[in-house]
Amino acid sequence: MTRSELEHLIRASGAIANDPELIIIGSQAILGQYPDAPAVLLASMEADIYPRNHPERAILIDDAIGEGSYFHEQFGYFAQGVGPETAVLPEGWELRLIRVGNEQTGGSTGWCLEANDLAISKYAAGREKDRKYTAELARSGLTTRETLHERLAATTVDGDLLRMIASRIDRDFEPREPSRP
């Protein structure tokens, strides 16, 4: 996905949900803070979105421009309407949202997760694709070990998950040996 495609999804989602503010919580939220993020972080063709003021209207977004919709077939990308509970996030994440609003968003504003908050949600989800994503965030310098540990301390997760996430953060920042030919 590209930044202009995300802007298109923000414009369409705002109109569909009749809510000018949208929260973007999935991997493509990285486009808010880093419009030119490494291509490997932009491989997804979907943006996870919910209307900030009317989260219950996310289903309208999913139905109109979600996976398998005419919109998806026409443009090759789509919005997945999700709920606020979809992502595990650190306290204060709302204060760090990155604003995406311009003439391309048609009067709607997308509020994208900040990179370290996004990473915490990916660490908590813990799927293979999430582990690859957080490793690339670290490798690319878009997140920092210190900030991630601070954000993890401000995240409500059980002790086992907390320890597992802390270990994965440290692993993502371990020096890598150069690959051999």
pLDDT of 175 reads 78
Instruction: Express each pLDDT in 143-152 by its tens digit.
Output: 999 999 999 9
Give the tokens for residue 64: 């109109």
pLDDT of 93 reads 97
Give the tokens for residue 10: 């923000």
H/E element, 145 = helix 145-153
Query: Residue range 142-168: average pLDDT?
Result: 94
Instruction: Express each pLDDT in 59-109 by its tens digit.
Output: 999 999 999 999 999 999 999 999 999 999 999 999 999 999 999 999 999
Tell me the whole-structure pTM to 2 decimals: 0.92
Residue type present at position 74: Q
Of residues 81, 87, 12, 75, the one with CA closest to residue 47: 81
pLDDT range class, residue 178, cuts 50, 70, 90: low
pLDDT of 130 reads 95
pLDDT range class, residue 181, cuts 50, 70, 90: low
DSSP letter assigned to residue 175: P
Are 115 and 34 a contacting pair, CB within 8 Å?
yes
